[in-house]
Amino acid sequence: MGTTVDELLNGNQENNLVEYKEESVQLGVDCTVYEKRVICEIAAASRRSMYNNEFIIR
C-alpha cells in the first residue's frame, strides 16, 4: 500500500508531541517577537478554557 502506520494513525495518537511541530514552526517563521507572544498567550488561554470546560463534552 505504501502507507506507514504513523501516517494511518496521524491525528489519533494521544500525547504525540511532534504531530503539529512543523506546522507550529512554520506559523512563527515570519512573526515578530510581539506576534509570537500574542500567539502563545492565545494558545495558553485556549488550552486553559478547554481544560476548565472539559465537563461539557463528557
How high is the pLDDT of residue 11?
A: 62
How confident is the model at residue 40, as a pLDDT?
Answer: 92
- Domains identified in the chain, total number: 1
User: Rounded to an integer, what distance in angstroms lies between the CA atom of residue 45 and that of residue 13?
Assistant: 23
12 lies in a domain? no
Cell of 38: 500574542
* 3 in a structural domain: no
Query: Do the domain assignments include residue 41?
Result: yes
Has residue 50 been placed in a domain? yes
43 domain residue, yes or no: yes
Q: Is residue 22 part of a domain?
A: no
Q: Which pLDDT belongs to residue 26?
A: 87
Give the model's pLDDT for residue 50. Answer: 93
pLDDT in the model for residue 56: 87
For residue 7, what pLDDT is reported? 66
At 18 the pLDDT is 72
Residue 14 lies in a domain: no
Task: Note the pLDDT tens digit of each residue in 8-49.
Answer: 666 666 666 677 788 888 888 999 999 999 999 999 999 999
Domain housing 57: 32-58
18, 19, 40: which is closest to 28 by C-alpha?
40
Assigned domain for 15 exists: no
